[in-house]
Amino acid sequence: MQPVRATIQGLGVCIPTRILTNDDLARMVDTTDEWITARTGIKRRHLAEPDQATSDLALIAAQRALAQARVAPDDLDLIVVGTATPDMYFPATACLVQERLGAKQAGAFDLLAACSSFVYGLITAAQLIQSGGIRRALVIGAETLSRLLDWEDRRTCVLIGDGAGAAVVGPSTGNAGFYSGSVGADGSAGDVLKVTAGGSRMPITADAIERKLHRAYMDGQAVFKLAVRTIPTLIRRTVDRAGWTLEQVDRIVPHQANLRIIDAMREQLGVPADKFEVNIQEYGNTSAASVPIALWEAVEAGRIREGDRIVLAAFGGGFTYAACALIWGI
């Protein structure tokens, strides 16, 4: 049997229509548009409506990706939803999406690697396809992190947005597709970004709510340093394993957490600024949805074209990180 190379056959996104600007936030907490723009690059973010759950955003992104790929739900063998904000503990959000898509032949599971979840999911799906285990997968990064925020904590609430992005992954017909993928984690840094209450260690009690332990906590400076220390090396390794040089890479799509983090990575790598995809000004950090939304925008705008060599790179709570190198096309 000929070895198969997996590739992305179609993309779709769901961006909530409700917008929260920096000026809106300045009316809610002690902050300013100037501070947020200078420290993060973010100008606005999109938030899910109160009646929209993660699976609602995931479903729309999934339907659009399937339509673009011209793949029927019945042709999916697997659905992976990367999310830190599932609709509920279980069933998995992936199962909710599977049912609503009518993807009756597909297995379904959620994957939790925080903001790295989508890239972790892509690498997992590509490997399953390349090993012959499955033929076609739908990988979704979907989040409603706004639900986990303390909207009185200016250190975190200004950073986040909601959204979803999906990719249909299937066998390539030519040279396009995945050439390498690396995942990693540093569990010793788990405390820098976490939601303490709501799991088996500490169920949500009145005391936990009083202490806001069911809300997202972040040591911003620690996350910043970890990202800048880890991601340039990860990108170099991923490019190297693909058998490419950094100069040959046409576009890098990094996780959109902070413009200053992206700038620092760029400087370390010595890659020209215009090779990096940046859309943080419009969406903030949408966690697992950030890479697929940025990838979709780059393709739609023609900044990524068939045959381009691209790198996707993400990091997030855990601490987790993941990157993959692919040639764009089907």
Q: Which residues bind ligand COA (CB under 6 A)?
A: 31, 35-36, 39-40, 115, 154-155, 158, 218, 220-221, 223-224, 257-258, 261, 285, 315-316
Residue closer to ligand COA by CB (options 13, 228) is 228
Catalytic: 285?
yes
Q: Find the catalytic residue in 14, 95, 115, 324.
A: 115
Residue closer to ligand COA by CB (options 238, 258) is 258
Taken as a whole, the chain contains a residue count of 330
Tell me the one-letter amino acid at 85.
Answer: T
Indicate the Cα dihedral angle 233, 238, 243, 245, nearest 10°: -50
Smallest gap from residue 156 Cβ to ligand COA (A): 7
The Cα–Cα gap between 292 and 256 comes to 11
Two structure tokens written together for 141: 């990064």
Helices 220-241 and 259-269: crossing angle in degrees, nearest 10, is 40
Residue closer to ligand COA by CB (options 177, 232) is 232
Residue closer to ligand COA by CB (options 41, 170) is 41
Smallest gap from residue 93 Cβ to ligand COA (A): 19
Catalytic: 324?
no
* 3-class DSSP assignment, residue 233: helix
Please tell me whether the peptide bond between 178 and the residue prior to it is cis, using omega within 30 degrees of 0: no
Q: What backbone torsions phi and psi does residue 9 show, to the nearest 5 degrees?
A: -100, -15
Smallest gap from residue 3 Cβ to ligand COA (A): 34
Token match 């806001």: residue?
A: 212
SS (H, E, C) 302-320: CCCCCCCEEEEEEEECCCE
| Closest-approach residue to ligand COA (CB) | 220
Smallest gap from residue 220 Cβ to ligand COA (A): 3
Residue closer to ligand COA by CB (options 77, 277) is 277
Residue closer to ligand COA by CB (options 35, 244) is 35
Residue closer to ligand COA by CB (options 158, 295) is 158
Q: Find the catalytic residue in 14, 157, 285, 324.
A: 285
Two structure tokens written together for 281: 């000004």
Smallest gap from residue 84 Cβ to ligand COA (A): 10
First CA to last CA across the chain, in angstroms? 20
Q: Find the catalytic residue in 14, 22, 46, 255.
A: 255
Tell me the one-letter amino acid at 16.
Answer: P
Smallest gap from residue 226 Cβ to ligand COA (A): 9
Catalytic: 115?
yes
Please name which of 217, 81, 84 lies closest in space to residue 162, comparing C-alpha atoms.
84
Smallest gap from residue 258 Cβ to ligand COA (A): 4
Q: What stretches of the chain adopt beta strand conformation (E)?
A: 6-14, 18-21, 44-47, 78-82, 107-111, 137-143, 163-171, 177-185, 193-194, 217-218, 251-254, 309-316, 320-327
Catalytic residues: 115, 255, 285
